[in-house]
Amino acid sequence: MRMRPTLTWEPTGGLLPAVTDLAPVVEAVRGGGVAVLSGAGLSTESGIPDYRGENGSLRRHTPMTYQEFVGAEQARQRYWARSQLGWRAMTRARPNAGHRAVTALLDAGLLTGVITQNVDGLQQSAGARDVIELHGSLSRVVCLACGQSSSRSELDHRLREANPRFEDDAERHRAARVNPDGDVELPDEAVREFRVVACSACGNGVLKPDVVFFGENVPPERVAACRDLVEEAAVLLVLGSSLTVMSGLRFVRQAAQSGTPVLIVNQGPTRGDRWATQRVALPLGEALPALVAQVCP
């Protein structure tokens, strides 16, 4: 039986006090061998909100769960209609200074790889290699029947053909804020007539974004690749993640249990603070360029 996914976490006492001095991170990164685990906080300066920050989307939005998506046609209709507008906003987003700083650290040979919990592709758009997409990518679509993978751009074209008036009718909602899972808020009347298309390969399979929904398991081979990266790292550096869900938290716990230092740069407390060597409470757009300036030639 699947457990209800963990969406929120409340900090308890006894956590390591945060600092605003970047020196511990500078010292750790300068030595190299650093694995990065990044979260939604890295993309907020690109206009994509996080889930749990001060202006996080969970304050106004309940994300789709795997159980809802596979269990109800109406839920899939709602998801793809909202995603059709959200996809536009996601494709307009551009990498920010934090993404570029992570790429600079990779290019300098100081990082061994990046595990991103984000599904927006912005770290790769900033030129980063060796990125493991822990929760998948919104740029891909997979058929739940035949397993065929295709591009979200291709599906976008098919959905526009199947719903020629949808975007004009929903124009008044275009300013709705995009959520981290790639959709926007729309009222029921805006999605009621939306037509969902089936897999073009097998003809009738249900299409799903190639992302890990809340309540869904990360593919085991992907988890194994992340565990290998963390096991070989000299330091684990967490950037912009509350570590609320176990899919990311487990790597912090793994590092701590093996004696690998864990440094977290996140403005608010995280579920991983108790295993961290230090948490630095600074905005990533400020901290990461400053880090690059101090450790890169």
H or E element at residue 111: strand 111-116
> Per the annotation, does 82 bind a ligand?
no
> Per the annotation, does 33 bind a ligand?
no
> Per the annotation, does 47 bind a ligand?
yes
> Per the annotation, does 40 bind a ligand?
yes
> Per the annotation, does 270 bind a ligand?
no
Contacts of 197 (CB under 8 A, 6+ apart): 155, 158, 159, 162, 207
Active site residue 61: no
> Per the annotation, does 241 bind a ligand?
yes
The SS3 of residue 79 is: helix
> Per the annotation, does 143 bind a ligand?
yes
What is the spatial distance between Cα 120 and Cα 285, in angstroms, rounded to a whole number?
17
What is the spatial distance between Cα 234 and Cα 249, in angstroms, rounded to a whole number?
18
- Candidate list 99, 135, 157, 173, residue with the active-site label: 135
Contact 239, 265 (CB under 8 A): yes
> Per the annotation, does 110 bind a ligand?
no
Contacts of 288 (CB under 8 A, 6+ apart): 97, 98, 101, 102, 239, 265
> Per the annotation, does 147 bind a ligand?
no
> Per the annotation, does 58 bind a ligand?
yes
Other Cβ atoms within 10 Å of 48 Cβ, number: 24
The SS3 of residue 22 is: coil
> Per the annotation, does 268 bind a ligand?
yes
- Binding site residue list: 39-59, 117-120, 143, 146, 199, 202, 240-242, 266-268, 284
- Binding site residue list for Zn(2+): 143, 146, 199, 202
- Binding site residue list for NAD(+): 39-59, 117-120, 240-242, 266-268, 284
- Residues annotated as catalytic (active site), given as ranges: 135
